[in-house]
Amino acid sequence: MSPLGSIESSLREVRLRIEKSVIASGRKISDVTLLAVSKGFSIEHVSEAIRCGQVAFAENKVQEVKQKFPSRGAFGLPVRCDFVGHLQRNKASLAVALCDLIHTVDRVELAQALAKASADLGKTQPVLLQVNISRENSKRGVIPEHSLDLCRLLVELPELRLDGLMCIGTSPQEDPERIKAKAEFAEMAYLRDEIQSRLSRPMPELSMGMSEDLELAISAGATLLRVGSAIFGER
């Protein structure tokens, strides 16, 4: 875990990487949102990142969202917190109450639980469909061939707003040359474009790319980058 004092320089480096990649891809900085994944780090780490200008975060556990982001106004800035971990149905109500965007909808039962929780709270919950783009048994998400069917179900639930797709690329340990990850991100972009065309509705978000592969994700069209270790250090 990196000391608090290193967060400012780490954020600066990550933002520079993003800027260079966005320019190289012919895109705009405003096209991409950096989500600082603060899983396993303290509220002091979050506060330091906010002091350095970072206001968009993501967590893997609902309980950590509750502990670190109970009142966004407490930071004095409009802080955002998304959910990017595996979500159990019994945590759906808490996730809807606390999270701005839920990236990991991957099954009918979860979608229905989120819709019910949203109805109970009187809100429309933005969500992403998690796609198992690598088709690995160890990863969660719907396989690409079934993604359109689940998206159709999601758009039929008025309490939810389907904003796009999310994936986890093949890890650098398994894909050191990043050949698979590059192909996966390209497939995700194609899949998103195909689904939004078939459904005749906008799906602007592509949540993909982390500390090791954010450049590849940006070049493929990522709009949401989930970066943890490059900002906060190893857990």
> What's the whole-model pTM score?
0.95
pLDDT tens sequence across 106-158? 999 999 999 999 999 999 999 999 999 999 888 999 999 999 999 999 999 99
Residue 234 inside a domain? The answer is: no
pLDDT for 107 equals: 97
The total number of structural domains in the chain stands at: 1
Residue 131 inside a domain? The answer is: yes
Residue 46 inside a domain? The answer is: yes
Residue 71 inside a domain? The answer is: yes
pLDDT grade, residue 2 (50/70/90)? low
Residue 235 inside a domain? The answer is: no
Token pair, residue 215, equals 């450049």
The residue range of the domain holding 59 is 4-229
For residue 66, the domain's CATH number is 3.20.20.10
Residue 15 inside a domain? The answer is: yes
Q: State the DSSP string of 27-84.
A: --GGG-EEEEE-TT--HHHHHHHHHTT--EEEES-HHHHHHH-S-GGGGTS--EEEE-
pLDDT for 176 equals: 85
Residue 165 inside a domain? The answer is: yes
Beta bridge partners of 58: 37, 82
Give CA separation, 23 vs 124, 129, 203, 208, in Å: 34, 28, 23, 18
Residue 196 inside a domain? The answer is: yes
Rounded to an integer, the average pLDDT of 171-196 is 93
pLDDT for 141 equals: 97
pLDDT tens sequence across 210-229? 999 999 999 999 999 999 99
pLDDT tens sequence across 57-92? 999 999 999 999 876 666 777 899 999 999 999 999
